[in-house]
Amino acid sequence: MAVVIRLQRTGKPKHAHYRVVAIEKKRAIGGAPLEVIGNYDPKQEKTKEKVHLKAERYEHWLKNGAKPSETVASLVKMLRKAEAVK
């Protein structure tokens, strides 16, 4: 079972909101995830308000072989950079 960490779109049309999920690679985009790790709201202005992520669960899935998508990897990088500035 290959697991990936990717975004899953929710919300109304033209008002996108995303969940960060751990899901099997072969599942459909709207399929049931193994676990919801966080969420992403691109409409927010501040990084802390845009991305909410359960860091310990993200690390858990990485240790168990999950691969993050490019978008999720860039969101995590942005979040860590914002925390380092604090």
CA–CA dist 54, 69 (Å, integer): 16
Nearest CA to 17 out of 34, 38, 42, 37 is that of 42
Domain boundaries, the chain: 3-85
Instruction: Give kind and range of the element (H or E) at residue 17.
Output: strand 15-24
Nearest to 71, CA basis, from 43, 42, 44:
42
pTM confidence score: 0.88
Say what the pLDDT of residue 30 is. Answer: 81
**How high is the pLDDT of residue 81?**
87
Q: Encode pLDDT of 55-76 as tens digits.
A: 999 999 999 999 999 999 999 9
Q: Using CA atoms, how far apart are residues 19 and 49, in angstroms rounded to an integer?
A: 14
| Angle ∠(35,40,46) on CA atoms, nearest 5 | 145
Q: What is the tens place of the pLDDT at every residue in 9-60? A: 998 998 999 999 999 998 887 889 999 999 999 998 887 788 999 999 999 9
CATH 3.30.1320.10 fits 3-85, yes or no: yes
